[in-house]
A and B are shown apart, each in its own frame.
Chain A
Amino acid sequence: MTESSAMALGSAWKQMSWLYYQYLLVTALYMLEPWERTVFNSMLVSIVGMALYTGYVFMPQHIMAILHYFEIVQ
């Protein structure tokens, strides 16, 4: 690992932790105890994960339906 790539990784880590800190402040998770943060984060991750998974599974069907509506594909 060269020094410049280590520095880039370090600054990316700093940027990510600053973004996480902003997320904590904006959603008032900053005020909560660690276990409450875990509960909220896991619920958020599971809901977003489920939404993304559903989108991924149904994406081909939805695209075919749109193309069929606009009569691009029969």
Chain B
Amino acid sequence: SFFPQKNGISNGTLYKKTFIEHFEQAPMYVAVFTFVGFAVGTIFGYLRDFMRAWGLEKRNIAAEREQQKDFVPLYQDFENFYTRNLYLRIRDNWNRPICSVPGPQFDLMERVTDDYNWTFRFTGRTIRNVINMGSYNYLGFAETDVNALKTVTIELKKYGTGVCSTRQEMGTLDKHVELEKLVAKFLGVEDAMVFGMGFATNSMNIPALVGKGCLILSDELNHTSLVLGARLSGATIRIFKHNNMQSLEKLLRDAIIHGQPRTHRAWRKIIILVEGIYSMEGSIVRLPEIVSLKNKYKAYLYLDEAHSIGAVGATGRGVVEYFGMSPDDVDVLMGTFTKSFGAAGGYIAGKKGLVDFLRTHSHSAVYATSMCPAVAEQIIRAMKCLMGLDGTTQGLQRVRQLEKNTRYFRRKLHEMGFIIYGNDDSPVVPLLLYMPGKIGAFARRMLEKNIGVVVVGFPATPITESRARFCVSAAHTREMLDTVSTADVLGDVEKSSFPLESSGERGYLSVPKPLVLSW
């Protein structure tokens, strides 16, 4: 029924199973209406700024004191034009405070605004049992079941919560050593090191691995933590097009042929930074091709598996297992525990020499507080569950359930005719909205139906491609996924745009026909 675009696989023999990714382009009038929407917002933004500047309207933004009016301006008004005039109008869809565990359903604090999102106040009521399509809870380990958290409570009573030191001083607990051994065993590598924060793992460890005179080849759509780490390191950064192997190969060849910019000396190191699953696109990295390129041109590979560890692969071991490759192919395996393990923190794994080097040379290892022992125990119990070491098959069941939920949800949304980006196997499902008016409308209407979603616009995405990002979880039931995909609001908000060669049966009234999906 739908046309999968194979997106130009250059070397299809490296792939052991079909690799289908969708990046369908919307029709031209959608782009026209998107620009019209932004134009209207911009014109009214100028109008409101004019009124604020001339005192016709109360100014709610930060301003200097009267005595400092002639000084160098502290708050550059115009630069925040977009924030003040477009983001602020629909600001109530972000930073919503929740007051329960972010499981498949959660509770929200009800929040209203009297002056169009300049200030908020809490009414005191709680919105209960909102279906959670925004939390990164891929395997459903964010739970409050007392039996599941038994070992965590024991460790909490034994160690307390604070570590009060860095890894280098007195913050290395036996729990960290146990966790690192377990992570290394889970991934099939020699050694691993864990850090307290996932963002800091990337931004503090890349400067330890590369420096001036090295070359970083980074994907176009890499996460801010990777970009920050690359910039902090002082190495030269070159960007290749998203998941595009021809672009990467061209950059590698240019780097080796021409060397460093002025002196033409060979680069000290060439490192390729990619992610396992890209969180805004839902696309999976083309690992077999990248590994063959890296072996051919003698470069190093740094793989950030923040969203893919636990979420893809036959037993949840990430993209390396998904493609059937060995973990020795990747030089630096990085990942986070925030997404699939219901905890916080990150790890870097690889050869023993690499990890020993990072233990002394990484900023995060030397200066940052180490992971809380109760959180470490949560990761240990989640990982043991995944590996089957706790004596049950619950871990494997969770991975299979996530796979089933992902396929079901994606297929259902495709059959209904929405534009979804990304690989068929990735649990991150971005639904394209395009027009700025729809961003706020979608999130608000979904909340009215008791479904919580994350909508993203500029600058996290390109300005014309704003989207709603669903994160499928193993803890979601079939009924929850049905509720979300057949929510009336999807029809109301989406139906105006897309003719969709995929489904010809949709009319223009609000309720889409319920589908019977054959498994």
Contacts and interface: CB of A to CB of B under 8 A. Distances in A.
B86 A31 contact: yes
Contacts of A29: 40, 437
A31 B440 contact: yes
B487 interface: no
Given A32-B44, A33-B116, A40-B40, A27 B437 contact: yes
27 contacts: A15-B509, A21-B492, A24-B437, A25-B435, A25-B441, A26-B497, A27-B37, A27-B40, A27-B437, A28-B36, A28-B37, A28-B435, A28-B437, A30-B437, A30-B438, A30-B440, A31-B86, A31-B90, A31-B436, A31-B437, A31-B440, A32-B41, A32-B44, A32-B89, A33-B116, A36-B47, A40-B44
A26 B44 contact: no
B38 interface: yes
A7 to B, nearest CB: 15
Interface of B: 33, 36-38, 40-41, 44, 47, 86, 89-90, 116, 435-438, 440-441, 492-493, 496-497, 509-510
Given A25-B438, A27-B437, 16 more contacts: A24-B437, A25-B493, A25-B496, A26-B497, A28-B36, A28-B40, A28-B41, A28-B436, A30-B437, A30-B438, A30-B441, A31-B41, A31-B90, A31-B437, A32-B40, A33-B116
A22 interface: yes
A25 B495 CA distance: 11
Interface in A7-56: 15, 18, 21-22, 24-33, 36, 40
B89 A26 contact: no
Interface residues of A, number: 16
B496 A26 contact: yes
Interface of A: 15, 18, 21-22, 24-33, 36, 40
Contacts of A15: 509
Q: Is the interface of B mostly helix, strand, loop or mixed?
A: helix
Contacts of A28: 36-38, 40-41, 435-437
A22 B498 CA distance: 13
Q: Is the interface of A mostly helix, strand, loop or mixed?
A: helix
Contacts of A27: 33, 36-37, 40, 437
